[in-house]
Amino acid sequence: MKAFDPLGVLRTLLAYKVDFVLIGGLAARLHGSPTVTDDLDVCHDRKSANLKRLARALTEMAATLRLPDPDEKVDLALDERLLAVTDNLTLTTDFGSFDLLARPAGTDGYDDLTGGAITVRLERAVSIRVASIDDLIRMKRAAGRPKDLIEVEVLTALQDEM
């Protein structure tokens, strides 16, 4: 397993001008959640030009499909064509685990999330769009896994403090 370096993924996406919204555990952390995660989740724009940029970024990060058996490999080109027809991909990169969700649970995808997203500056050259707390709660409820429902409680408490 590669060391988790979320800034490495984000810097690469920004270098290739990929349009995305940060979702999942790291987005929740940026809103104040104490929950720890070991992967980075984004919802990406599915426009053709963005998929081309995303495919180049994935190549730069040496992305491969993340499989239950880390020694198992699948020879699959992570190119624009695959990205256009795949809603969700779980990947391993030079920076650790990275999940691409074109249509996260409970949403209609990128355009649905951008309206409520906030911009967060992580460091001088790294500013990203982060899903709103409302949208994170909506996605977590729709996913419905026990860990997501726990996070709904955390996010709701954070929302109440605002």
pLDDT tens digits, one per residue of 48-59:
999 999 999 999
Mean pLDDT (whole number) for 110-134 = 95
Please list, in sequence order, all residues whose beta carbon lies within 8 angstroms of the beta carbon of residue 123, skipping any fewer than 6 positions away. Answer: 7
The encoded tokens of residue 147 equal 């860990």
Judged against a pLDDT cut of 70, whether residue 17 lies above it is answered with: yes
3-state secondary structure of 43: strand
Q: Answer with the residue of higher pLDDT: 84 or 71.
A: 84
Give 125's pLDDT tier (boundaries 50, 70, 90): confident
Return mean pLDDT, the chain: 93
- CATH architecture of the domain with residue range 6-154: 2-Layer Sandwich (3.30)
CA separation for the pair 50, 20 (Å, rounded): 9
Statement: residue 1 has pLDDT above 70: no
List the domain boundaries for the chain: 6-154
What is the dihedral angle through the alpha carbons of 27, 86, 107, 16, rounded to the nearest 10 degrees? 40
For residues 124-146, give the mean pLDDT. Answer: 95
**Segment of 65-69, 74-78, 133-137 carrying the highest mean pLDDT:** 133-137
Average pLDDT over residues 126-155: 95
More confident residue, 104 or 3: 104
Least confident of 30-39, 63-72, 136-145: 63-72
What pairs with residue 127 in β-bridges? 121
